[in-house]
Structure 1
């Protein structure tokens, strides 16, 4: 055994190895495994990995699906450095998002596609106020029924296209609900923003606007302002919406000259 290998083994980090085993196994899994299947797959007991799974879930690297199944989020991709499109977009949006938060005294966050049916937050800026709603980077949410999802869906020009996509990702939903969401996306396309209740809480509303690539129709992101439903936001609603739309327009102009058009449209994700 070489001296170098001996030194490497001397400085092992069991907890880190356990976490990396989990992430690597999930990255190679075609389906979302249960905790038991994951433990068996990496040759460890459920008790050994239970606390590690909780931490990875809380930090946004994995998410728990219905039936206690686990899958990776898109957060790892964001740690790949400035070479990824998402990290470039997050960095490019940073100053615009900070100015918006200062101007309207509300937090805002930026969504991009994570898969064919959900979105992920790649940047989030808190307001200067002592209270408010802030969404963490790495948080995922479905396309269907969310304001950010309506922004992406607004790229599809016809009701038929929108409904075909919605049936593909949310076919179990009530047809009337799919039609209503398609109509909301059409409203977003017309007024360049949409305001909907949050899927997480009835007390939270979201105002979102699409970020398009330059002057084209391709939606690459959605900028969202979450807020508590209150008279405070109602009294300055038009001001907040206008500030959001102006910020989106400024970011779009910057994106047009600094980022390539995505090779795969979000609605064609596997």
Structure 2
């Protein structure tokens, strides 16, 4: 299989994709020499490719000699009808949820091995935790990832974990204890867990379901305790608001609606 994959390689395309994937994970851009060093190549190998990516609008120059991504890739992603349709349904509901619970929230789908944020609503007040649209987050250590796994059949769940681990790989985190956790989430209808990334944050996550009951997305509130904020609901009330919001979105999605792979 590996020999067959190598036979059909497109080196120029691989080079361009390597650049885009590298720049996607860097703030502030990189010089041509820095790109070459990180990709273990000669700087001359990337001159023409960078020139074409700039001319096509995927990359731009900043500070004279640094290259960074434009928003063109993000714009192309939003042209996918399933994602655009789901986001159009979700945004008004997410805005209402933010106002009701005084917290930020985000909508997440599974795409090519990771949960991906496709919509985000800021908290209405001064304080809130938000994640940028387009962020690829953890499958095993986030509320969104837990919900997307919990509300999938075993076969789909295994495929998601395999994609996350890499083709043909395995992930040792899928233990009996973790499987029991997913069963609990499925039974109660939501996940409530301390953030593995930010101290003091509790992730409140619930599924947006398709007609067959499987999760096509997860809606998550990164809940923080607000002090001296009149009318702010406690965490129990907040999770009720989250599950009410996802119930509304599940009703809106209709039969046969799917977004996986189109984020």
Q: Does TM, normalized by the shorter one, top 0.5?
A: yes
SS in 2 for 1:52: strand
What residue in structure 2 maps to residue 15 of structure 1?
A: none
Give 5+ residue unaligned stretches, structure 1: 1-20, 62-73
Q: How far did residue 256 of structure 1 move?
A: 0.8
1:100 maps to which of 93, 97, 101: 97
- The answer (yes or no) to whether the contact 1:184–1:194 under 8 Å persists in 2 is no
What root-mean-square deviation, in Å, do the aligned CA atoms of Structure 1 and Structure 2 show? 4.0
Query: Cα deviations across residues 204-250 of structure 1 (Å, max 9, x unaligned)?
Result: 2211001111x422211000000236789997222111111111011
Give 5+ residue unaligned stretches, structure 2: 1-11, 24-33, 51-60
TM-score, with normalisation over the residues of structure 1? 0.66
Structure 1 Cα separation of the partners of residues 144 and 181 of structure 2? 11
Is it true that 1:130 corresponds to 2:136 in the alignment? Answer: no
What residue in structure 1 maps to residue 141 of structure 2?
A: 145
Q: How far did residue 42 of structure 1 move?
A: 3.5
1:51 maps to which of 60, 66, 73: 66
Structure 2 Cα separation of the partners of residues 218 and 195 of structure 1? 19
Instruction: Give aligned pairs, total.
Output: 220
2:195 maps to which of 198, 211, 216: 198
What residue in structure 2 maps to residue 251 of structure 1?
A: 249
What residue in structure 2 maps to residue 219 of structure 1?
A: 215
Aligned ranges 1:6-45 → 2 under 5 Å: 25-26=16-17, 35-36=35-36, 37=39, 40-43=44-47
Structure with higher RCO (Cα < 8 A, 6+ apart): 2
Q: How far did residue 262 of structure 1 move?
A: 2.6
Structure 2 Cα separation of the partners of residues 212 and 45 of structure 1? 42
Query: Cα deviations across residues 60-90 of structure 1 (Å, max 9, x unaligned)?
Result: 88xxxxxxxxxxxx8354332xx52112111
Structure 2 Cα separation of the partners of residues 92 and 27 of structure 1? 34
Is it true that 1:118 corresponds to 2:117 in the alignment? Answer: no
TM-score, with normalisation over the residues of structure 2? 0.67
Residues 41 and 148 from structure 1, CA distance in 2 versus in 1: closer, same or farther, beyond 3 angstroms?
farther
- The answer (yes or no) to whether the contact 2:140–2:146 under 8 Å persists in 1 is yes
